[in-house]
């Protein structure tokens, strides 16, 4: 190919080839643009389909020619001596370099281990720039190597070149420390470059050694079932099970922060900094000097669990061995799982069907359910249940609960805001079996506002009802424990006491006429009545208060009104009267609005009581409890029941 291209471009032939090519181009153009009369027509191109076909094949052959040229050049550049092939059905190419490692699969913790690292060149090209990178397992203490390490961490080794088909070996030795049954993994990475190639290649290998026996035997003993506010003792035993002295040992005890250590024997070492301590845990450290073969050391820890224990916990004892740099690694570890009895006793309080009930009103009934369950494996004996219900205004306890009208089928003992149930009232509390549950229901009414007017003080804070339950357990199985479990606490806000009255009057409270016309009402004659709306807000500030009612039947708006606070308006289209107050502070007195309605009966109304004003509806928002308050009052009629002077005289007469 190269010769053909060279001959084509020889200088001696350039002129002749140029003239030949020019003539050929001219002939081709004439064929393409020649019209039927033999003249050249440059406006039309599709005169010679054979010329187009020839051009297509010419281009195709040119492209194929270039592809062949590039393929041959690439083959010459990138071809290098082939490796020997394995004699298998798939004829896979062998690796240029093979990396292997010989090692013991099991050792005792602390024993010496030797890694024999072998690397072989399986190619007929020399391998250069060999570098071995070693990732040691945790607990490996480096001692020696046949090739000097190239860094301070002693994990990088620069190796000599490998001749074709040459094999070499390097050794790394040290001590391997770990816990029994722990697997220690060594990772190797060998990088190299073939002599005839500028790219780097890499081979990997691993070595996994299992620790079959620790040089230290470690045990942690003590009570596994724990309860709050009770003393517990734990004992750590450490033994050298090897035939050699062990130096630079230390014990690390990791324990939950609710366990308060009172005393240790021997004393622990102060001000030792250890990283990676679990959240909500604390630790103590004891340094152990030379531990002789078969020698044992004991460490006693005494303490108490403070506060609630709502989950299982554990104690973690670790024996660590230090090296010449004072770096410590774990060689033995023992856990003690601590089971929370308190977690296994479920005590839940529900009020009005919820653990987060909404606000209530004075005079409401509170429905309580006390649910208890033993999730543990042992029976609970001599159990007592207690429900505590107290009401507060601010910090002051107030008596707004009607204890005299409590409903309790189990007839618990009532005293000072508490109800107590024992095995005398509920038989199963004498021995509450494993996996058993129970429930106590009772109903507690709140006093009405008119019963406690003298107790509550407007503007002196929110009124809350706080409720919770307690369970006391004297025995677990056959063991005395004296444990208490507390339920969730529920705080129920009480809405402001918003009193609302609607009255139709002919005479006011001072017996002064505020109406006019005949009473009872007469056919064809007009009687005027006065409607009063009264509101008293006792506890909290309220917002967006509205009172509305519709004038019914023959009644008409007289366009006479008075209002102390807010606005009072009448809508002629809807015949609705609306009183609006944007904000209303707590007050011990009623505020009023009033307006006049008149009615003129007709003959068909005789002996009937006529409706003056439909149902009155009050709506407002309690700013403290964020609760919408709705109150209604029945329709008002010509019978004017709330007027003591004219009440009962509402039948229309002729």
Three-state secondary-structure class, residue 589: coil
Residue 245, pLDDT score? 87
Higher pLDDT among residues 653 and 326, named by residue: 653
pLDDT at 482: 81
Q: Which residue, among 381, 378, 349, 385, has the nearest Cα to 366 in the 3D structure?
A: 349
Tokens of 409: 């089928």
SS3 call for 411? coil
Distance in angstroms (rounded) separating the CA atoms of residues 428 and 264: 42
Neighbour count for residue 246 (Cβ, 10 Å): 21
For residue 4, pLDDT over 60 is answered with no
DSSP 229-266: T-EEEEEEEEEE-SSS-B-SEEEEEEEETTEEEEEEES
For residue 449, pLDDT over 70 is answered with yes
- Whether the predicted pLDDT of 45 surpasses 80: no
Band (pLDDT 50/70/90 cuts) for residue 25 is very low
Cα 61 to Cα 584: distance, rounded to the nearest angstrom = 98
Centre a 10 Å sphere on the Cβ of residue 524 and count the other Cβ atoms it contains: 9
Among 224, 122, 132, smallest CA distance to 169 is for 132
- pLDDT average, residue stretch 57-85: 56
Residue 183 contacts residue 205 (beta carbons within 8 Å): no
pLDDT in tens, 552-567: 999 999 999 999 899 9
More confident residue, 131 or 17: 131
> Residue 69: is its pLDDT beyond 70?
no
The better pLDDT of the pair 279, 478 is held by 279
Contact 467, 418 (CB under 8 A): no
- The Cα 648–Cα 638 span in angstroms is 9
Q: Residue 17: its pLDDT value, please?
A: 44
Residue partners of 400: CB distance under 8 A and separation at least 6: 362, 391, 446, 447, 452, 455, 456, 463, 465, 494
| Confidence (pLDDT) at 323 | 73
Residue 301: DSSP 8-state:
E
- The residue that leads in pLDDT, 539 or 98, is 98
448-460 average pLDDT score = 76
Rounded-to-5 percentages of helix, strand, coil across the chain: 10, 50, 40
Tokens of 583: 């904000």
**Average pLDDT value over all residues in the chain:** 85
Q: How far apart are CA 259 and CA 282, in angstroms?
A: 9
- Asked if 645 contacts 514 with a C-beta cutoff of 8 angstroms, the reply is no
Residue 350 is predicted with a pLDDT of: 96
Q: Are strands 396-398 and 380-393 parallel, antiparallel or unpaired?
A: antiparallel
Q: In the predicted model, what is the mean pLDDT of residues 66-84? A: 53
Q: Please give the Cα distance from 266 to 278 (Å, whole number).
A: 25
Cα 456 to Cα 452: distance, rounded to the nearest angstrom: 7
Peptide bond into 266 cis (omega under 30): yes
> pLDDT tens across 46-58, in order?
444 445 556 566 6
| Chain centre distance of CA 633 | 48
Q: What is the mean pLDDT of residues 457-480?
A: 85
Q: What is the pTM of this model?
A: 0.56
Give the range with max mean pLDDT: 59-68, 200-209, 267-276, 645-654: 200-209
Query: How far is residue 596's CA from residue 532's CA, in Å, rounded to a whole number?
Result: 9
Least confident of 23-37, 125-139, 436-450: 23-37
Q: For residue 44, count other CB atoms closer than 10 A to its CB.
A: 10
- Give the span between the Cα atoms of 10 and 306, in whole angstroms: 103
Which of 244, 236, 248, 330 has the alpha carbon at shortest distance from 295?
A: 244
Beta bridge partners of 130: 159
CB atoms within 10 A of CB 307: 10
pLDDT for 80 beyond 50: no
* Phi (first) and psi of residue 450, to 5 degrees: -70, -15
Residue 466 phi, psi dihedral angles, 5° rounding: -105, 130
Give the whole-angstrom CA distance, residue 597 versus residue 570: 11
Question: What's the pLDDT at 21?
Answer: 45
Tens of pLDDT, residues 185-227: 999 999 999 998 888 999 999 999 998 887 888 999 998 888 8
Number of helical (H) and strand (E) elements in the chain, helices listed first: 4, 40
Contacts of 464 (CB under 8 A, 6+ apart): 391, 392, 491, 492, 493, 494
CA angle 378, 381, 386 (to 5 degrees): 120
Of the candidates 438, 450, 387, 445, the residue with the CA atom closest to the CA atom of residue 413: 387
Give me the DSSP letters along 466-483.
EEEEEEEEEEETTEEEEE
Q: Give the start-end residues of each E strand in 85-200.
A: 97-102, 106-108, 112-121, 127-135, 140-145, 156-159, 167-176, 183-194
Residue 62 above 80 pLDDT?
no
pLDDT tens profile 581-631:
999 998 878 999 999 999 999 999 999 999 999 999 999 999 988 889 999
521 Cα distance to chain centroid: 71
**Res 264: pLDDT:** 95
């Amino acid at each position: 190919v190269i010769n053909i291209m060279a001959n084509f471009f020889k200088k001696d032939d350039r002129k002749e080839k140029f003239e030949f090519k020019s003539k050929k181009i001219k002939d081709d153009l004439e064929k393409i643009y020649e019209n039927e009369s033999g003249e050249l027509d440059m406006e039309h191109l599709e005169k010679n389909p054979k010329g187009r076909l020839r051009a297509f094949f010419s281009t195709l052959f040119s492209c194929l020619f270039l592809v062949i040229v590039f393929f041959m050049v690439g083959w010459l550049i990138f071809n290098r001596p082939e490796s020997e092939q394995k004699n298998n059905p798939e004829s896979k190419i062998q690796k240029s370099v093979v990396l292997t490692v010989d090692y013991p699969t099991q050792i005792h913790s602390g024993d010496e281990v030797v890694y024999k690292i072998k690397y072989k060149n399986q190619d007929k090209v020399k391998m250069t720039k060999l570098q071995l990178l070693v990732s040691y397992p945790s607990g490996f203490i480096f001692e020696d190597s046949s090739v000097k390490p190239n860094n301070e961490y002693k994990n990088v080794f620069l190796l000599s070149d490998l001749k074709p088909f040459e094999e070499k070996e390097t050794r790394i030795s040290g001590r391997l420390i770990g816990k029994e049954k722990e697997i220690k993994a060594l990772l190797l990475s060998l990088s190299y470059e073939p002599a005839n190639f500028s790219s780097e290649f890499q081979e990997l290998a691993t070595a996994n050694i299992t620790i079959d026996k620790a040089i230290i035997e470690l045990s942690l003993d003590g009570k596994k079932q724990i309860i709050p506010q009770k003393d517990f003792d734990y004992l750590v035993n450490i033994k050298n099970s090897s035939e050699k002295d062990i130096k630079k040992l230390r014990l690390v005890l990791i324990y939950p922060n609710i366990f308060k250590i009172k005393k240790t024997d021997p004393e622990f070492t102060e001000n030792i900094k250890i990283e990676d301590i679990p959240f909500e845990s604390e630790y103590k450290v004891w340094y152990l000097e030379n531990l002789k073969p078969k020698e044992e050391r004991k460490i006693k820890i005494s303490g108490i669990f403070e506060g609630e224990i709502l989950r299982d916990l554990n104690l973690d004892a670790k024996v660590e061995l230090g090296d010449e740099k004072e770096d410590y690694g774990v060689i033995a570890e023992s856990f003690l799982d601590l089971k929370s009895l308190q977690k296994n006793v479920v005590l839940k309080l529900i009020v009005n069907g919820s653990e987060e009930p909404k606000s209530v009103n004075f005079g409401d009934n509170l429905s309580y359910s006390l649910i208890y369950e033993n999730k543990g494996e042992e029976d609970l004996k001599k159990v007592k249940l207690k429900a505590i219900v107290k009401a507060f205004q601010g910090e002051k306890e107030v008596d707004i609960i009607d204890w005299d009208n409590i409903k309790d089928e189990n007839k618990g003992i009532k005293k000072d805001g508490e109800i107590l149930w024992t095995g005398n009232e509920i038989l199963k509390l004498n021995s509450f079996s494993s996996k058993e549950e129970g429930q106590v229901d009772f109903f507690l009414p709140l006093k009405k506002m008119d019963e406690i007017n003298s107790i509550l003080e407007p503007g002196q804070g929110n009124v809350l009802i706080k409720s919770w339950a307690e369970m006391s357990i004297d025995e677990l199985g056959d063991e005395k424990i004296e444990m208490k479990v507390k339920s969730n606490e529920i705080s129920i806000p009480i809405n402001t006491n918003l009193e609302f009255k609607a009255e139709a009057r002919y005479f006011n409270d001072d017996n002064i006429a505020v109406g006019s016309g005949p009473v009872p009402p007469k056919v064809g004659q007009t009687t005027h009545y006065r409607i009063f709306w009264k509101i008293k807000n006792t506890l909290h500030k309220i917002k967006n208060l509205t009172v509305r009612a519709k004038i019914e039947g023959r009644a008409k708006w007289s366009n006479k009104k008075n209002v102390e606070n807010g606005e009072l308006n009448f809508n002629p289209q809807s015949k609705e009267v609306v009183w609006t107050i944007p904000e209303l502070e707590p007050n011990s007195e009623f505020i009023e609005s009033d307006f006049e309605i008149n009615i003129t009966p007709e003959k068909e109304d005789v002996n009937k009581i006529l409706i003056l004003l439909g149902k009155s509806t009050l709506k407002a928002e309690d700013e403290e409890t964020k609760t919408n308050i709705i109150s209604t009052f029945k329709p008002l009629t010509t019978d004017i029941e709330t007027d003591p002077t004219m009440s009962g005289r509402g039948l229309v007469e002729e």
